[in-house]
C-alpha cells in the first residue's frame, strides 16, 4: 500500500554518523533503538511499497545487525528474483545504492551462464543488455577470471562476458532530498526497471543447477 514509506528521516544520518569508525559496544547499544526506528524500519517500509507494485519483488529481506561495525553503518536489503539472482539495496551516509546481481553461484550455474553467453542468440542479447545498462550509468563488475575459460576459443567475440563467474550492475542513486521523501520509492522502481532486462535474462538462463 502506497503511503507507508515517507522517506528516511534526517535524523537517520545523525545516527549513522555516531556509528562511524569502530563504535564501542556501549555506543551501539545506545544507538540501537534509534537505528532500528530511523534507519532499518524505513527500508522495510520502502520494500513493502516496492513489493506492492510487482509480485516479483515480494521475496525480500532487510538485514539485522551483526558483530562487525560495517553492518551497523550500512543498512542492506535484498529482493530475490531467482536462485542467486537478486536486487540489492544499501542505505548509508553516501545515500542509497542499488545493484542487480547474480553472485555466489551454485555448482553448475557458471557453466550454464557461459553456454548462454556463447550461444549466438542469447549471447548477443546479453551483450546488448549490458551495453545498455552501462549507458544508464551502472558499473559492471563481478568475479572475473584473468584467463579465458577452458573449452572456449580465446578469440571469442564475447570473451569479456565468458570470463565472468558472477555478474553485477551497480549504481549509487544519490543522497539528495528525495531520500527523505516518498519519492525514494519511485527512484528505486525506476532503477529496478533499468536492471530488469539483465536480471530476467539471468533468471531465464542461469537456473538452479540440477
Which grid cell is 167? 555478474
Where in the chain are the domains?
Answer: 10-205
**DSSP string across 59-109:** -EEE----SSTHHHH-EEEEEEEETTEEEEEEEETTEEEEEEEE-SPPTTH
The CATH number for 10-205, chosen from 3.30.930.20, 3.40.50.300, 2.60.40.420, 3.90.1150.10, is 3.30.930.20
Q: How far is residue 117's CA from residue 131's CA, in Å, rounded to a whole number?
A: 14
Q: What is the pLDDT of residues 9-43, one digit of tens each?
A: 999 999 999 999 999 999 999 999 999 999 999 99
Strands 139-141 and 167-174: antiparallel
Phi, psi for 99 (deg, rounded to 5)? -145, 150
pLDDT of 210 above 50? no
Look at residue 209 and give its three-state secondary structure. Answer: coil
Q: What is the pLDDT of residues 139-182, one digit of tens each?
A: 999 999 999 999 898 989 999 999 999 999 999 999 999 999 99
Phi, psi for 42 (deg, rounded to 5)? -60, -35
pTM (two decimals) = 0.93
Amino acid at each position: 500500500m502506497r503511503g507507508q514509506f515517507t522517506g528516511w528521516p534526517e535524523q537517520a544520518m545523525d545516527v549513522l554518523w555516531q556509528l562511524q569508525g569502530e563504535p564501542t559496544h556501549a555506543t551501539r547499544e545506545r544507538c540501537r533503538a534509534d537505528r532500528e526506528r530511523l534507519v532499518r524500519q524505513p527500508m522495510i517500509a520502502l520494500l513493502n511499497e516496492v513489493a506492492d507494485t510487482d509480485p516479483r519483488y515480494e521475496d525480500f529481506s532487510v538485514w539485522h545487525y551483526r558483530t562487525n561495525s560495517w553492518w551497523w553503518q550500512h543498512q542492506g536489503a535484498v529482493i530475490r528474483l531467482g536462485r542467486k539472482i537478486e536486487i540489492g539495496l544499501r542505505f548509508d551516509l553516501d545515500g542509497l545504492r542499488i545493484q542487480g546481481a547474480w553472485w555466489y553461484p551454485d555448482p553448475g550455474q557458471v557453466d550454464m551462464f557461459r553456454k548462454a553467453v556463447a550461444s549466438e542468440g542469447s549471447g548477443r542479447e546479453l551483450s546488448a543488455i549490458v551495453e545498455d545498462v552501462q549507458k544508464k550509468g551502472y558499473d559492471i563488475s563481478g568475479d572475473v577470471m584473468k584467463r579465458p575459460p577452458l573449452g572456449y576459443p580465446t578469440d571469442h567475440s564475447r570473451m569479456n562476458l565468458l570470463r565472468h563467474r558472477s555478474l553485477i550492475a551497480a549504481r549509487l542513486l544519490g543522497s539528495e532530498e528525495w531520500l527523505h521523501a516518498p519519492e525514494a520509492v519511485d527512484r528505486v522502481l525506476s532503477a529496478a526497471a533499468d536492471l530488469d532486462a539483465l536480471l530476467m535474462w539471468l533468471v531465464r538462463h542461469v537456473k538452479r543447477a540440477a
